């Protein structure tokens, strides 16, 4: 599609965004950050030239918006190919597909993320609540606004790190760059920009909600692992009791048939089914959480 050459940074970024339309929002955020960072640095380095003249030179060095978009698409394809786990042969039977989850590394990393989310949820919730409370308390003082800006800046760094953790655990593309702050402006214009930026409040919302989500994820993972592993190892305990290696006389089982020798294979099978189901649930939760995180942490538009 023919279009006029951009005559300003905003026009260049607008065209680049249009060229990347339909791509992953995380990729678009990274591309816009890199482009804006480079363009504004070049403009600042040549104050004697107009913005239009510098953009004309940049089009032949950094590349026109369509060329930059094509380069990012090609790079993204190569990175995805390098990071994607080997494609497994899809099982034809339902049982093969059900138990095939054990060969998917993302199921294990998602389960680990669920266990870890309790700790991260506590940290994020504490940081956000304390930061907002102190910011509100200092609002009437001179140091209130700088403290709030520092708090928001740290929150955005945390969200970027959280995105990288989610990508490592689930394989879902997350940003490697934060949204660019834009053209240098006055102090109060920066404050207004942060207050009116949707991502500022969606990031804080994500950090607060990680506590209840982290508790839910942790309970599902730990209870699922505990129950399933107990059932899987029950036959070993039962056999050890029957041959006299281990005594369970002091353990009162209810119902009593659980301790019967004939029930041990059924307990083992039930434990394997529960563990396999937990792996599927963990993988599904990982994907759902990645989509939820992208909705709140990635810049839009």
Q: Is the domain of 48 the same as that of 100? A: no
Of 22-26, 27-31, 90-94, 153-157, the least confident: 90-94
Residue whose pair of structure tokens reads 């593309």 in the numeric block = 173
Q: Is 222 domain-assigned?
A: yes
Tokens (6 digits) for 270: 């039930």
- pLDDT on residue 254: 46
Q: Is the domain of 239 the same as that of 280? A: yes
Q: Is 114 domain-assigned?
A: yes
42-46, 74-78, 98-102: which has the highest mean pLDDT? 98-102
Residue 242 has pLDDT above 60, yes or no: no
Q: Is 290 domain-assigned?
A: yes
Residue 253 has pLDDT above 50, yes or no: no
DSSP character for 262? G
Q: Number of structural domains, the chain?
A: 2
Q: Is the domain of 119 the same as that of 226? A: yes
Of 227-236, 245-254, 268-277, 285-294, the least confident: 245-254
- pLDDT on residue 64: 85
Q: Which of 17, 50, 83 is the last residue of a domain?
A: 83
The 10s digit of each residue's pLDDT in 194-208 is 777 788 899 999 999
Residue whose pair of structure tokens reads 């839009």 in the numeric block = 300
Residue 251 has pLDDT above 50, yes or no: no
Domain that holds residue 200: 92-301
- pLDDT on residue 185: 61
Q: How far apart are the first and last CA of the chain?
A: 21
Q: Is the domain of 140 the same as that of 22? A: no
Q: Is the domain of 23 the same as that of 147? A: no
**Total H helices, total E strands in the chain:** 10, 0
C-alpha pair distances (Å), 179 with each of 33, 77, 276: 6, 22, 40
Q: Is the domain of 73 the same as that of 178? A: no
- pLDDT on residue 77: 82
C-alpha pair distances (Å), 267 with each of 96, 101, 193: 21, 21, 59
Q: Is the domain of 130 the same as that of 68? A: no
Q: Which of 37, 53, 83 is the last residue of a domain?
A: 83
More confident residue, 232 or 261: 232
Under a CB-based contact definition with an 8 Å cutoff, are residues 294 and 21 in contact?
A: no
Q: Is the domain of 298 the same as that of 157? A: yes
Q: Is the domain of 106 the same as that of 73? A: no
Q: Is 258 domain-assigned?
A: yes
The 10s digit of each residue's pLDDT in 107-147 is 999 999 999 999 999 999 999 999 999 988 888 887 888 88
- pLDDT on residue 197: 78
pTM above 0.75, yes or no: yes
- pLDDT on residue 134: 93
Q: Is the domain of 165 the same as that of 142? A: yes
Q: How confident is the model at residue 287 (pLDDT cuts 50, 70, 90)?
A: very high
- pLDDT on residue 139: 80
Residue 222 has pLDDT above 80, yes or no: yes
Residue 28 has pLDDT above 70, yes or no: yes
Q: Which of 44, 62, 83 is the last residue of a domain?
A: 83
Q: Is 142 domain-assigned?
A: yes
What is the C-alpha separation between 166 and 173, in angstroms, rounded? 9
Tokens (6 digits) for 53: 């003249």
Q: Is 46 domain-assigned?
A: yes
Q: How confident is the model at residue 41 (pLDDT cuts 50, 70, 90)?
A: confident
More confident residue, 129 or 93: 129
Q: How many residues does this entry show for the chain?
A: 301
Backbone angles phi, psi at 139, to 5 degrees: -60, -30
Q: Is the domain of 56 the same as that of 106? A: no
In terms of phi and psi (left: phi > 0; alpha: psi -120 to 50; beta: otherwise), the region of 182 is left
**Average pLDDT over the chain, rounded to whole?**
82
Q: Is 2 domain-assigned?
A: no
CB atoms inside a 10 Å sphere around CB 206: 22
Q: Is 130 domain-assigned?
A: yes
Q: Is the domain of 19 the same as that of 142? A: no
């Amino acid at each position: 599609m023919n279009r006029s050459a951009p005559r300003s940074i905003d026009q260049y970024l607008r065209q680049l965004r249009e060229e990347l339309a339909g791509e992953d929002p995380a990729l678009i955020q990274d591309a816009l950050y890199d482009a804006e960072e480079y363009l504004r640095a070049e403009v600042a380095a040549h104050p004697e030239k107009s913005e239009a003249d510098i953009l004309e030179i940049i089009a032949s060095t950094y590349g026109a918006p369509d060329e930059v978009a094509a380069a990012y698409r090609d790079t993204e394809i190569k990175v995805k190919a390098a990071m994607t786990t080997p494609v497994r042969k899809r099982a034809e039977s339902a049982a093969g597909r059900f138990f095939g989850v054990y060969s998917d590394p993302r199921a294990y990393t998602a389960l680990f993320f669920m266990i870890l989310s309790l700790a991260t949820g506590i940290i994020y919730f504490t940081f956000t609540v304390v930061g907002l409370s102190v910011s509100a308390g200092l609002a009437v003082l001179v140091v209130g606004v700088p403290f709030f800006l520092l708090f928001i800046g740290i929150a955005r760094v945390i969200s970027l790190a959280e995105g990288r953790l989610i990508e490592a655990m689930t394989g879902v593309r997350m940003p490697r760059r934060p949204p660019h702050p834009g053209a240098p402006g006055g102090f109060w214009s920066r404050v207004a920009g942060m207050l009116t930026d949707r991502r500022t409040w969606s990031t804080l919302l994500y950090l607060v909600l990680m506590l209840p989500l982290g508790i839910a994820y942790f309970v599902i993972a730990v209870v699922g692992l505990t129950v399933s592993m107990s059932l899987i190892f029950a036959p070993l305990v039962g056999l050890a009791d029957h041959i006299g290696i281990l005594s369970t006389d002091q353990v009162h089982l209810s119902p009593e048939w659980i301790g019967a020798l004939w029930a041990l294979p059924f307990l083992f099978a039930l434990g394997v089914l529960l563990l396999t189901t937990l792996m599927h649930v963990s993988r599904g939760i990982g994907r759902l959480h990645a989509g939820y995180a992208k909705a709140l942490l990635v810049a839009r538009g």
